[in-house]
C-alpha cells in the first residue's frame, strides 16, 4: 500500500491534470457537440473544474508542489456540489429544495452508461479523484 501511495504522490499532479483535462473536454463535448444543455448545478461544477486545468498546468510547469493547496479548495467545492447534484438526480432529497427553477432540470437524464453512469456521477468521480490525489500529495509531503 505504501508503494502505491508513494507512486500516486509522485505523479499526483500529472494524474490530476489528466483527470481535469479529460473531464473538461467531456463536459464541452456534452454541451457543444452532443447539444446537452447544462443545468445550473452543472455550471457551478464547471466553475470549479475549468480553472483546475490552468492551475495544474502552471503547477506542473513551475514544479510547484504547493499547487495542491490551490487545487484542493476548488475540487472539494466541486465535490460538494456534485454530491448535492447526485442526491437530487437520484431523488434522495426532496425536489422542493432543488435550485433549478429556470432552464433545464438538474434531474434530466441524458446518458446512463452501463445502467448507472450518469453525467452527475462522472462529475462526482472527477472531483473525488482530484481531491484524493491532492490530499495524498499533502500527507505524503508532510511525512518527508
Burial class of residue 23 (count of CB atoms within 10 Å of its CB; 0-12, 13-18, 19+): buried
Q: Give the residue-averaged pLDDT of 18-47.
A: 94
Q: Give the residue-averaged pLDDT of 53-70.
A: 95
Helices (H), the chain: 2-28, 40-62, 68-89, 119-143
> Class assignment of domain 2-143?
mainly alpha
Domain-wise residue ranges, the chain: 2-143
User: What global pTM score does this model have?
Assistant: 0.88
Q: Is the pLDDT of residue 142 over 70?
A: no
pLDDT at 102: 61
Closest CA to 78 of 55, 105, 97: 55
- Is the model more confident about 56 or about 111? 56
Q: Is the pLDDT of residue 93 over 50?
A: yes
Going by pLDDT thresholds of 50, 70 and 90, the confidence category of residue 91 is confident
d(CA 44, CA 73): 14
Amino acid at each position: 500500500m505504501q508503494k502505491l501511495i508513494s507512486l500516486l504522490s509522485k505523479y499526483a499532479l500529472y494524474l490530476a491534470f489528466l483527470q481535469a483535462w479529460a473531464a473538461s473536454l467531456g463536459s464541452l463535448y456534452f454541451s457543444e457537440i452532443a447539444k446537452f444543455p447544462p443545468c445550473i448545478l452543472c455550471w457551478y461544477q464547471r466553475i470549479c473544474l475549468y480553472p483546475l486545468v490552468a492551475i495544474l498546468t502552471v503547477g506542473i510547469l513551475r514544479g510547484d508542489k504547493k499547487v495542491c493547496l490551490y487545487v484542493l479548495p476548488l475540487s472539494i467545492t466541486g465535490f460538494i456540489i456534485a454530491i448535492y447534484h447526485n442526491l437530487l438526480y437520484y431523488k434522495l432529497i426532496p425536489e422542493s429544495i432543488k435550485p433549478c427553477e429556470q432552464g433545464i432540470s438538474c434531474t434530466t437524464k441524458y446518458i446512463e452508461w452501463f445502467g448507472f453512469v450518469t453525467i452527475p456521477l462522472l462529475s462526482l468521480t472527477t472531483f473525488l479523484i482530484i481531491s484524493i490525489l491532492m490530499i495524498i500529495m499533502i500527507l505524503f509531503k508532510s511525512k518527508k
